[in-house]
Amino acid sequence: MEIFEPLNHAFIQRAIIAGSFIAILCSTLGVFLVLRRLSLIGDGLSHVAFGAVSFGLLLKVYPFYVALPIVMLGALGILKLIDRARVYGDAAIGIVSSMGIATGVIVASKSRGFNVDLFNFLFGNILSISKTEVFTSLLFSAILIGFIVFFYNELLSITFDEETARASGIKIARINAILFIMTGLTVVLAMRMVGIMLVSALLIIPSVTSLQFGLGFKWTLILSSFTGVLSVVAGIFISFHADLPSGATIVLLNFFFFAGGYAYKILKIKS
């Protein structure tokens, strides 16, 4: 069938495989972040990634390798600002985020010739993903999903009620550091797919969509992953057939899923 014709192309196969793994990662991690009112951490860290990518392009080093440690440091920086400096979470994200974007703008303004590459990172293009990038995405996604499964009870308990979690012997600071580092890694992985500008959408929207259905925690995670993967796969097909930018198509699809979920909730309340 013509609709499945894109599957004959190797670059589409690569995009679907890598995209699905990253979607599962973003949408499960996103549920924890949204419920802890840290939704905008993805947005903040993507701005740090912007600064890091600019540096990478300036130094002619593959931006992924530069962004990885810098974004993780940014994630830990936000955590320290919240814990030690007693800065409110949203303000801490704002501080680190604006530092990242300011650095990126300064570096870009002093550079010559790499603004086109920077544009690619800003808006992403999952269809141009290489074999090495597929492998890296799969490896990191598998490790991070493994972390979420391994620390599932701790993450759930802290997200639900930090005080009681502490009285269960959970090392809150350690688990929070793991969560923030995982978020940083996820942002770097996802920016290649949907771009720096839209990465937070993949962390937030599938989670918020799944929250509309009034399910228990495990089913919320499963539904969030499902809508994330569906948006990536359907987004790739639509962008191929309609010649649309893939990242933006994926994000818009996520918005439509959210609208559907919200409509379901309203109908359920009225019935």
Partner 1 sequence: MRVDVVSSENLSFQYNHSEVLSDITFRISEGDYVAIAGPNGSGKTTLIKVVLGFYRPSKGGIFLFGERPHLFKDWQKIGYLPQKSSTLNPHFPVTVWEVVSMGLLSRKKGGDISRADENEAIEKALEYMDIKDLKKRLLGELSGGQQQRVLIARAIVGEPELLILDEPTTALDPDTRDRFFNVLSEMNSKKTTVIIVTHDVGTIGKYASKLFYLDKKMVFYGSFEAFCVSREMADYFGEYSQHVICHRHDTAKPSFTL
> Which positions lie near partner 1, rule CB under 8 A?
35, 153-154, 156-157, 159-161, 163-170, 210-211, 214-218, 220
In the bound state with partner 1, the residue whose beta carbon lies nearer, of 5 and 161, is 161
Contacts with 239 (C-beta within 8 Å, 6 or more apart), sequence order: 127, 245, 246, 249, 250
Give the residue with the Cβ less far from partner 1, 113 or 169: 169
For residues 39 and 232, give the distance between their C-alpha atoms in angstroms, rounded to a whole number. 20
Q: How far apart are CA 190 and CA 250, in angstroms?
A: 12
The candidate with the shortest Cα–Cα distance to 265, out of 226, 210, 216, is 210
DSSP conformational letter for 86: -
Which amino acid is it at 246? S
| Residue 154 beta carbon to partner 1: minimum distance, rounded to whole angstroms | 8
CB of 265 to partner 1, least distance (A): 11
Handedness of CA 80, 41, 99, 21 (dihedral sign): positive
Q: How far is the CB of 216 from partner 1 (least distance, A)?
A: 4
Here the tokens at position 129 are 């993903």
Nearest approach in angstroms of CB 182 to partner 1 is 20
CA distances (Å), origin 188, targets 26, 40, 257, 258, 263: 11, 15, 24, 24, 33
Q: How far is the CB of 69 from partner 1 (least distance, A)?
A: 31
Least distance (Å) between residue 220 CB and partner 1? 4
Task: Specify the residue, 20 or 207, whose C-beta has the smaller distance to partner 1.
Answer: 207
Nearer to partner 1, 86 or 110 (CB): 86
Smaller CB separation from partner 1, 26 or 221? 221
Q: Which is nearer to partner 1, 62 or 160 (CB)?
A: 160
Cβ(167)–Cβ(26) below 8 Å: no
